[in-house]
Amino acid sequence: MTVAAGFDNSFAIDKDGKAYSWGFSANYQTGLGTDDDVEVATLIENTAVRGKKLLGADAGGQFGVLWAAHE
């Protein structure tokens, strides 16, 4: 499992490569498709990550980054 904590938002990657995020999302930086704040870790299920085994994450004040191995 990997965890990345930014100033206002955070990510966790579980052992299966699924990503969860929470925090401030005024600029959609949680990856959840909302600009509402996210108070609990929520599974990210968008077209950018669907079907991929994620390897890592990073977070900052106005951004979030997830990565997977090249297929």
**How far apart are alpha carbons 55 and 36 in whole angstroms?**
26
- Report field, pTM of the whole predicted structure over 0.85: yes
Token pair for 35: 């600009």
**How far apart are alpha carbons 59 and 11 in whole angstroms?**
7
Smallest Cα–Cα separation from 61: which of 22, 6, 20, 5? 6
Instruction: Please state, for a pLDDT cut of 90, what percent of the chain lies above it.
Output: 59
Residue with tokens 């930014």: 6
Residue 43 reports pLDDT greater than 90: yes
Confidence tier at 1 by pLDDT (50, 70, 90): confident
Whole-number average pLDDT of the chain:
90
